[in-house]
Amino acid sequence: MKFTLDIHSSTCIRCGRCVAVCPSRILTQAEPKAPVGIERPETCIVCGHCVAACPTGAVTHTEFPAEKVHPVDRNALPTAEQVLELCRARRSNRALIDRPVPRDLLEQIVEAAHRAPTASNRQEVSFIVVTDPEKLKQIIQLTLDTFDGVRRKLENPVLRPLLRRVVPQVYAYLPAFRRLIEAWGRGEDLVLRGAQAVVFICAPADSRFGVTDTNLAYENGSLMAESLGVSQIYTGFVLSAMKQDRKGRFAQLLGVGKGRKVYAGMALGMPKFAFPNYIDKKPVEVQWLEER
């Protein structure tokens, strides 16, 4: 990537903020109030920290022209108490109404997810938003077909003795597989729970941090959904079926790009009601390593 990074001496106040926040240590300052220098610019990960931290606009980066730089209104940010209350209130509400999630809300959820940090600022996370009712049904059916295939293998009298030794933990899921399949036969969706939209979060299939990056994005999107009054459910069943899909049927159905993989997914719907209470979790387990 070709870019230009400059420090304008006429407006630089030599505060050292850009030096302090640069993860690649490209910006240098011999001592406080000394001129800011640039070394090894080719190692820049284009995170924009330097531009965002500069109080006078003295740092210019061609990847971040003026129209991409915006002031932060700290007075508009939620308080720590409000953020914590949002975290307490966030639940996987599976009681949904038969009404589409408005497009503008979906866009805000994706934008929040897109704002999540990524390893080395690679920003390789992408999104697939499914609102087509027919495709949602196909996702459910494909998930159940996959589980039914696993069920038949686990119950096969020839394979069962071997599988019980090799993958005994999988047998704990047999009742769930049966329950999901039987419910669908009765017209009840226990996979997406009647969600009107699903956001799948993708990253390169060979990414070392694909799981981490996409699930960080999920958490951002999940909290935004909660703040918007949209119910969100982690698509654990679908993701589990995807892992067992050797034929690439999910990828074909969703149009997942070549060399990419779905690592996280969020089913979304409008709730029948909002939870009036939050419940305490188990006591937090934390180890403090403090100086004595």
Instruction: From the options 3.30.70.20, 2.60.120.10, 3.40.640.10, 3.90.660.10, give the CATH code of 5-68.
Output: 3.30.70.20
Q: Check residue 287 and give its pLDDT.
A: 96
Q: Which of 132, 262, 275 is nearest to 202 (CA)?
A: 262
Q: How far apart are CA 192 and CA 198, in angstroms?
A: 8
Q: In angstroms, how far is CA 171 from the centroid of its own chain?
A: 30
Q: Check residue 173 and give its pLDDT.
A: 83
pLDDT tens digits for range 151-165? 888 888 888 788 788
Token pair 């999540």 is found at 116
Q: Check residue 172 and give its pLDDT.
A: 84
Percent of the chain topping pLDDT 70: 100
pLDDT tens digits for range 95-106? 999 999 999 999
For the domain spanning 78-272, the CATH number is 3.40.109.10
Helices marked H in the chain: 17-21, 49-53, 80-89, 103-114, 133-155, 160-166, 174-185, 210-228, 236-243, 249-254
What residue segments make up the domains of the chain, in order of their start?
Answer: 5-68, 78-272
Q: How far apart are CA 79 and CA 234, in angstroms?
A: 27
Q: How far apart are CA 57 and CA 53, in angstroms?
A: 9
Q: How confident is the model at residue 166 (pLDDT cuts 50, 70, 90)?
A: confident
Q: How confident is the model at residue 181 (pLDDT cuts 50, 70, 90)?
A: very high
